[in-house]
Structure 1
Amino acid sequence: MADIARLSGVSVTTVSHVINRTRPVREETEAAVLAAAGQLGYQAAPAGGATGRVLGIASSAFSNPSFSDLLHGIEQVASRNGYSLLLSDTRDDAVTELRAMTELIDHRVQAILLAPSAEPGAALDYARGQDVPVVVLDRMVDAAVDQVGSDNVDSIGVLVDHLAGLGHTRIAMISGMPGLSTTEERVEGFRRATARHGIALDDGSVVSGQGADEASQEAMTRLMTSAQPPTAVVTGNNRATIGAMRAARHLGVEVPRDVALVGYDDFDWADLFHPRLTVIAQPTTQIGESAVDLAVSRILDPDRAPRRLTLATTFVHRESCGCDPHDPR
């Protein structure tokens, strides 16, 4: 522990409190100690929790409508391979994510499926230092680890292409949480597609919904009360879609009569909205299945080259875009 203390710039007593969880310390201090421990390859004494064939899941997606499908895919393949699951919520926060990683490793999981935060470096470094394989799912990262997610750039382009084909020239976007690869890729796809159709964007054409219902509702309100409101809005995730629909209802704006609305992410009750939502559907169950396949392959063959899988999405045509879903456009 002395080496960890020197590297992290704290006392051995503080290191002991962090490693053994005997007393709360400041989040920044905890993060520094855990990062130093990972860098030095410190092996904590095993916790008295799960043992054997266990996979860890570190994700903020427990409140996400699509998480049930993702978890279903993970559980099906994990069970088939004789693995049980241990879940930990990261809250999309780098410090909480690192804490989740250390707790899962303390419980001796054999691999971790991680839906990373915007800054997952410390968590990935810690897992690497503990020699525990990580499979990144949904949000791709710049790291030499196995990864699986959906196409984001071209998928958003499909939505913009559809709106442009209906004659829309004032199209805006409500994006997700800043810093996530999925957000950046979907915004890039939106910008590429609008440029392809000669649609001009200004500083207010892309508004962040912060990956949350309330912030997305505020973003939609700003768009629809601007001097020149858009005639169509693309939402970057299902939280943005829900927030946009709430804003429209509160403003008395009717979808699709007053504004067309299309989104990235499908969910079980998207076709129960009025109007039913036109969306891009991710292969969520398949992402979960593929993540476990990658984890099991890594456990069996630790030295193989990392794999990166990008799965195709599906355009689901309903009514919120303002046209007949049976129209082939």
Structure 2
Amino acid sequence: MGNNKKYTVEDVAREADVSTATVSRVFSGSAKVNKETTEKVLQAAKKLDYRPNRVASRLRGKGGHSKVLGLIVTDLQNPFFSDIARGVGDIAYENDHGVIVCNTDEDPEKERFYLETLLSEKVAGLIIAPTIGNKEYLRTVNQTLPLVSVDRHLSDFDVDTVTVNNKEGSYLAVKRLLELGHKRIGIVCGIEGILTTEERLNGYKKALKEENISINDELIFHGNSKEKGGVEGVRHLLNITEPPTAIYSTNNLMTLGIYEELYRQNVKVPNDVAIVGFDDMSWATALNPPLTAVRQPGYELGATAVELLLKRLSNPNRPISNTVLKAELIIRHSCGNPK
């Protein structure tokens, strides 16, 4: 026979006059197949130039169950979510699992599409940083598929969750600015309605209230967790009657936009306005001046999420876990010296 056709396990079984299960056992190295039958299968495979799909075999567990996991995040362009994906991928690989990664761009329709796609692919379990539009559908998904929520909470139903202490990290960032003498501190927040946004805003408010500083809505700007949101936030804050002396950004991409717009407007950091950001990225030290930032452990978030998912797969009845990782303030030059 020629080699133009891609032959299957069924073709090999037919050529060797054995069952497909026998062919699979031969290529998995099973001791249950006698020498004569093994030789027949190998000869048939050689004749057909058949090569077993080692990856597919590896990604099937006992009983043929999938060893592929799904990961859905909102923005792979954001290095934070890339770190999460790296943590998920590394730990999954160490445990002989593959990962299908999907990116939603905060779009509930796209998220729904990927959820349906992963279900059709029969993944073993799912890790998701959810948007705000598919909670009820996710509740349905979780009835048949083990699910872990990463970075964000899924309120009102029980799933394993891994988050960072956003409120405490945010509190530390604003407290640092207060210690340096700033009283008017603007904040550029992320997407409204998402719990991480609310937690970081609450940390900001907590720090101000401790110093008996009233909350001024004029100093609060809701961006969209993108660079453009940072640009728009700066334009808003610098155009109010009494601009802030410091700006706190709750997302790394918005921080980039803030730096860009301050540079365009020839506003000096930290002499004219101090800056602190949430998310300490590899490029934070390359900014001018280097950024004071809250470091959240993205890689550890991903690694912990996949560890919880694998535990859930091996023990579906284990108690629900709500893991909160610590955030840390890294002090550099963007917040300046005491005023």
* Bucket of the pairwise TM-score, normalised by the shorter protein: 0.7 to 0.9
Equivalent positions of 1:1-329 (< 5 A) are 52-129=66-143, 131-142=144-155, 143-323=157-337
CA deviation string 1:239-281 (max 9, x = no partner):
2211111110111111101000001001111100000000000
Shift, 1:126, TM fit: 3.4
Task: Look up the SS of the partner of 2:127 in the other structure.
Answer: strand
**Amino acid of the structure 2 residue aligned with 1:184:** E
Task: Look up the SS of the partner of 1:57 in the other structure.
Answer: strand
**Amino acid of the structure 2 residue aligned with 1:84:** G
Structure 2's unaligned 5+ residue stretches are: 1-55, 61-65
**Amino acid of the structure 1 residue aligned with 2:145:** V
Structure 1's unaligned 5+ residue stretches are: 1-47, 325-329
Q: Is the 8 A contact 2:231 2:261 kept in 1?
A: yes
Q: Is the 8 A contact 2:71 2:128 kept in 1?
A: yes
State the match for 2:17 in structure 1. Answer: none
Q: Is the 8 A contact 1:208 1:216 kept in 2?
A: no
Structure 1 Cα separation of the partners of residues 248 and 104 of structure 2: 27
Structure 2 Cα separation of the partners of residues 178 and 104 of structure 1: 28
Shift, 1:53, TM fit: 0.6
Q: CA RMSD in A?
A: 1.6
CA deviation string 1:9-28 (max 9, x = no partner):
xxxxxxxxxxxxxxxxxxxx
CA deviation string 1:198-256 (max 9, x = no partner):
22222211101111111221111110122100001110111221111111011111110
Larger Cα Rg: Structure 1 or Structure 2?
A: 2
CA deviation string 1:84-112 (max 9, x = no partner):
01011222122221111110111111011
Cα distance change, pair 229–201 in 1 and its aligned pair in 2 (3 A): same
Task: Look up the SS of the partner of 1:159 in the other structure.
Answer: helix
Tell me how many residue pairs correspond in the alignment. 275
**Amino acid of the structure 2 residue aligned with 1:101:** L
**Amino acid of the structure 2 residue aligned with 1:287:** L
Structure 1 segments of 4+ aligned residues over 3 angstroms from their partners: none
**Amino acid of the structure 2 residue aligned with 1:81:** N
Structure 2 Cα separation of the partners of residues 315 and 191 of structure 1: 17
Structure 1 Cα separation of the partners of residues 71 and 142 of structure 2: 16
Task: Look up the SS of the partner of 1:269 in the other structure.
Answer: helix
TM-score (norm 1): 0.81
**Amino acid of the structure 2 residue aligned with 1:73:** G
State the match for 2:24 in structure 1. Answer: none
Structure 2 Cα separation of the partners of residues 89 and 63 of structure 1: 9
Q: Is the 8 A contact 1:141 1:181 kept in 2?
A: no
Structure 1 Cα separation of the partners of residues 213 and 310 of structure 2: 46
Structure 1 Cα separation of the partners of residues 134 and 289 of structure 2: 38
Shift, 1:157, TM fit: 0.6
**Amino acid of the structure 2 residue aligned with 1:111:** G
Task: Look up the SS of the partner of 2:248 in the other structure.
Answer: strand
Q: Is the 8 A contact 1:217 1:247 kept in 2?
A: yes
